[in-house]
């Protein structure tokens, strides 16, 4: 009987170890306000996050064209960069994807130096990615390539990860991945991350 109990205990501990290892040593990812939201691609995602962060109830600001200087001026502790390019949005802002990629690279470098937590967020689902791909436009994927591998946390709508793109980046770079079923679930996920 003692032998069976010992074996069960060892199996249970082994199971716990496997679960904690798979979840990144059991440590839930955390970030802190104030939050600065910017975009890599000038899609509608920052406007969506504006609504969501109001419900979360933390100090934040949305600056779709944020610069490294803005990180200093706003004294943010967390930077959320939305991934997803809109040719219309970039056209309205008078910028190209190359301009966006250069700006975001500078912002990420500044955030890393200042030890600001970077959350790479793709919250517009597979529709956003498919629209560009169907038209032969790769700007959305370029936006993901520029942000996701350099993030500290990835926050995505599950449907937008249907092809496992964010899972592969998460596993390859050992970045915690937070998936939400739908946009309103982002309120709950951001409350966990930021409170």
Contact 164, 143 (CB under 8 A): no
Strand order in the sheet with 60-62: 60-62, 35-40, 78-83, 117-122, 153-157, 177-180
Q: Which letter does DSSP use for residue 28 in this model?
A: P
**Hey, how many other C-beta atoms are within 10 angstroms of the C-beta on 25?**
8
Contacts of residue 87, defined as CB under 8 A and 6 or more positions apart, other chains included, come to 137, 139
- pTM of the entire structure? 0.83
| pLDDT value of residue 29 | 85
Give me the pLDDT at residue 86, please.
82
Torsion of CA 79, 157, 163, 40, to 10 degrees: -30
Report the percent of the chain where pLDDT is more than 70: 82
What pLDDT does 98 receive? Answer: 93
Cβ burial of 11 (10 Å; 0-12, 13-18, 19+) is exposed
Per-residue pLDDT, 185: 94
Q: CA 154, CA 175: separation in Å to the nearest integer?
A: 7
pLDDT tens-digit readout, 64-110: 999 999 999 989 999 999 998 888 888 888 999 999 999 999 999 99
Spell out, as residue ranges, where the chain has pLDDT lower than 70. 1-27, 128, 130-137
Tokens at residue 92, please? 């309205």
Half-sphere exposure (CA, 13 Å, Cβ side) for 168?
7
Tens of pLDDT along 80-92? 999 988 888 888 8
Quote the pLDDT of residue 126: 80
């Amino acid at each position: 009987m003692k032998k069976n109990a010992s074996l069960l205990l060892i199996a249970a501990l082994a199971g716990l170890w496997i679960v904690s290892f798979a979840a990144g040593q059991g440590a839930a990812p955390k970030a802190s306000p104030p939050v600065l939201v910017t975009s890599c691609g000038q899609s509608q995602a920052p406007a969506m996050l504006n609504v969501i962060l109001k419900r979360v109830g933390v100090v934040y600001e949305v600056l779709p064209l944020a610069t490294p200087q803005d990180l200093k001026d706003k004294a943010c502790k967390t930077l959320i960069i939305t991934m997803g390019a809109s040719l219309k949005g970039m056209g309205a802002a008078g910028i190209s994807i190359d301009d966006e990629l250069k700006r975001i690279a500078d912002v990420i470098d500044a955030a890393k130096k200042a030890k600001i937590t970077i959350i790479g967020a793709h919250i517009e689902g597979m529709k956003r990615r498919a629209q560009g791909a169907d038209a032969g436009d790769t700007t959305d994927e370029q936006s993901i390539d520029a942000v996701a591998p350099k993030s500290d946390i990835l926050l995505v709508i599950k449907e937008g990860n249907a092809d496992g793109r964010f899972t592969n980046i998460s596993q390859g770079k050992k970045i915690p991945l937070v998936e939400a079923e739908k946009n309103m679930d982002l309120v709950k996920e951001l409350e966990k991350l930021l409170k």
